[in-house]
């Protein structure tokens, strides 16, 4: 059996596909806009984004939805690229309380 | 671009390369046999792009058709197939 990464779920046992749609929330729209702006600025490419989302810790990947994973991915890439530090992000979150 | 190794109609088997980093060949197709439908062209290697490299030299990318019966044991409908884009370094010649 081939080794598979966490996101590589094709063919694994699963229940019925959830087909309900929902309108994106304001927060989700902002995450989408942020991702697109950062890519348009050339900060990272789509494969770097995918590599990052696919290597999120399982406890984050499994427990969060689509745009929440994007948000973690943006944070990690901003740190990896030296745009922000983890300390700066933590400090800002603490300030926003 | 390098001369493509496979022509349309060629039988190929997907290599079971070790999983590390980012790759675009799903687990369920590795080790399975399909047939080259057509060459898309050559594209920068996403496995290298994923680490900020330029992904060059470009790698031939094929549309490969897999009978569903090659992918899933006990699959019922003989005529069904699945097509996937597979980069050349994931493919090796297969026996027919």
The model's pLDDT over A32-72, given as tens digits with 9 standing for 90+, comes to 999 999 999 999 999 999 999 999 999 999 999 999 999 99
Q: Is residue B43 included in any domain, yes or no?
A: yes
The pLDDT value recorded for residue B91 is 98
Q: Is residue B5 included in any domain, yes or no?
A: no
| CB within 8 Å of B4: residues ≥ 6 apart | B39, B42, B60, B62, B88
For chain A, the structural domain boundaries read 27-96
- B19–A contact, CB cutoff 8 A: yes
* Chain length of chain B: 96
Cβ atoms of A12 and A1 within 8 Å: the answer is no
Interatomic CA distance for residues B31 and A97, integer angstroms: 51
Q: Is residue B64 included in any domain, yes or no?
A: yes
Distance from the Cα of B8 to chain A's closest Cα (Å) equals 26
Q: Is residue B88 included in any domain, yes or no?
A: yes
Interatomic CA distance for residues A41 and B96, integer angstroms: 48
Distance from the Cα of B67 to chain A's closest Cα (Å) equals 15
Interface ipTM > 0.95? no
Domain extent, residue B43, equals 11-93
Distance from the Cα of A97 to chain B's closest Cα (Å) equals 34
The pLDDT value recorded for residue B1 is 59
Q: Is residue B80 included in any domain, yes or no?
A: yes
**What's phi and psi for A93, nearest 5 deg?**
-60, -40
Say whether pLDDT at A17 is over 90.
Answer: no
Mutate to test the interface with A, among B26, B53, B72, B82 (most CBs of A within 10 A): B26
What's the whole-model pTM score? Answer: 0.89
Cβ atoms of B17 and B96 within 8 Å: the answer is no
pLDDT tens by residue, chain B, 96 residues: 568 999 999 999 999 998 788 999 999 999 999 999 999 999 999 999 999 999 999 999 999 999 999 999 999 888 999 999 999 999 999 998
pLDDT per position as a tens digit, A79-96? 999 999 999 999 999 998
CATH superfamily of A27-96: Nitrile hydratase, beta subunit (1.10.472.20)
H helix runs in A3-45, sequence order: 26-40
Could you tell me the CATH number of the domain that includes residue B48? 2.30.30.50
CB contact under 8 A, B50 and A11: no
The pLDDT value recorded for residue A1 is 59
User: How many domains does one find in chain B?
Assistant: 1
């Amino acid at each position: 059996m081939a080794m598979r990464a966490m996101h590589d779920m094709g063919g694994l046992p699963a229940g019925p596909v959830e087909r309900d749609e929902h309108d994106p929330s304001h927060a989700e729209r902002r995450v989408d806009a942020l991702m697109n702006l950062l890519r348009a600025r050339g900060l990272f490419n789509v494969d770097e984004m995918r590599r990052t989302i696919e290597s999120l810790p399982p406890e984050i990947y499994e427990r969060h939805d689509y745009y929440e994973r994007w948000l973690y991915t943006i944070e990690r890439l901003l740190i990896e690229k030296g745009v922000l530090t983890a300390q700066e992000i933590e400090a800002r979150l603490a300030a926003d309380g | 671009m390098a001369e493509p190794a496979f022509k349309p109609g060629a039988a190929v088997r997907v290599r079971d390369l070790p999983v590390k980093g980012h790759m675009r060949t799903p687990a369920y197709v590795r080790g399975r046999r399909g047939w080259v439908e057509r060459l898309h062209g050559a594209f920068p290697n996403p496995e290298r792009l994923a680490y900020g490299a330029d992904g060059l030299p470009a790698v031939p990318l094929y549309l490969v058709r897999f009978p569903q019966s090659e992918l899933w044991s006990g699959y019922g409908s003989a005529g069904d197939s699945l097509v996937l884009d597979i980069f050349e370094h994931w493919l090796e010649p297969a026996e027919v």
